[in-house]
Amino acid sequence: MKKFPLKIILFFIISHTISRNAYAQISLADSLLKTQENSVSTNSETDSTTKTQSFIHPYKIRVGLTIGISAIGTIGDYFAIPRILGKDKITDEELAALNPNVLTRFDRWGLMQDPAKRVFFDKMSDNVITGIFILPVTLAFNKNIRHDGLKLLLMYYESQAITFSIFNYSFLGPTFQNKFRPMTYYTSIPVGDRNIGNNRNSFFAGHVSSATAATFFMAKVYCDYHPELGAKKILFYAAATVPALAMGYLRLRALKHFPSDILTGMSIGAICGIAIPSLHRLQNKNVTVGAFASPKGATGLSMNWNMHKNSSEQKQLNKLTLAKI
């Protein structure tokens, strides 16, 4: 979770862009929908069928609500990250008491790596995750998707903000968990590298959850804009697991996480990457968002999701993109 500065920069870019382009994008979307509904052409001289290209708009986005969720998540991360990274040093007694035998056979893979290569894989994972974060931008090259670029940019940032907030504030994350990283078990590594407070943050894998959220978001969005894919959608979700698994492998080799930490991170990232776009397919009144504060000083997001849908609006939302005249 070292890419927090990138999040802040991206947040201000989005805010500045929205102030100039939001109303233009909304007007364009309305214009495209009207064109879809009203475009009729006839040709009395030929018996051919004319097809009018229009666009699907599967998502409903309230700009203010989406920015608010993203802002709350970003501000929450600002306070959470220093606290997570600044945990107390691991004492000599704690290091001496570490017992690999208490680990499951599955997690012992984390203790079968080459510690001499941990720095190389750590740096590589930081570089690779930057590329994975950028991957969803390639959706703009698809002609069926690019017309909703601003909406998707906002939604993508929101999905990452929520993924980070789950890492920083949920019971599964390092705010409440103090699981030692694999590198603390390697006696060949200098004590000064093993006993830092950040080595209490093995569970769960933050890099992996964010990377998985990015790739599954990309797969979900692409499939929603291409309903004709049918069962072939499974291929896109299978492809989305490849960058996530690669990130998990790098973090394992960097001695940052055990396999169970990585699988948990992948699961949470996949849920966020799919759930956030799915939320925006529902009526906005079915989703309420607020802030919370715990007695221990933690802050974060709360969300209530009413699964009831309005059938007429859902039909309108899912109408065909290609009108046959």
Spatial distance between the Cα atoms of 162 and 48, rounded to a whole number of angstroms = 50
**pLDDT, tens only, 196-234:** 999 999 999 999 999 999 999 999 999 999 999 999 999
> Which pLDDT score, from 0 to 100, does residue 281 have?
86
237 has a pLDDT exceeding 60:
yes
- Long-range CB contact pairs, 52-56, < 8 A, 24+: 52/322, 52/323, 52/325, 53/321, 53/322, 54/321, 54/322, 54/323, 55/144, 55/147, 55/148, 55/321, 56/144, 56/224, 56/225, 56/227, 56/319, 56/321
Burial of 73: CB neighbours in 10 Å, binned 0-12, 13-18, 19+: buried
> Which pLDDT score, from 0 to 100, does residue 282 have?
67
**pLDDT, tens only, 46-89:** 333 334 446 788 999 899 999 999 999 999 999 999 999 999 99
Stated pTM of the model:
0.73
| Two tokens, residue 85 | 């990274």
94 has a pLDDT exceeding 60:
yes
What is the SS3 assignment for 92-151? HHHHHCCCHHHCCCCHHHHHCCCHHHHHHHHHHHHHHHHHHHHHHHHHHHCCCCHHHHHH
Task: Lowest mean pLDDT of 99-103, 207-211, 280-284, 303-307, name the range.
Answer: 303-307
| Two tokens, residue 271 | 């849920």
Radius of gyration in angstroms for the set of CA atoms belonging to the chain, rounded to a whole number: 23
Note if the bond before 204 is cis, omega within 30 degrees. yes
Signed CA dihedral, 22, 27, 30, 35: sign only? negative
The residue whose two tokens read 């090259």 is: 141
* DSSP helix/strand/coil, 310: coil
Query: Do 154 and 61 meet the contact criterion of CB atoms below 8 Å apart?
Result: yes
H-assigned helices in the chain: 4-38, 63-85, 92-96, 118-134, 149-169, 191-194, 206-225, 233-253, 259-279, 311-317
133 has a pLDDT exceeding 50:
yes
Signed CA dihedral, 143, 149, 151, 157: sign only? positive
**pLDDT, tens only, 305-325:** 554 444 444 444 444 333 333
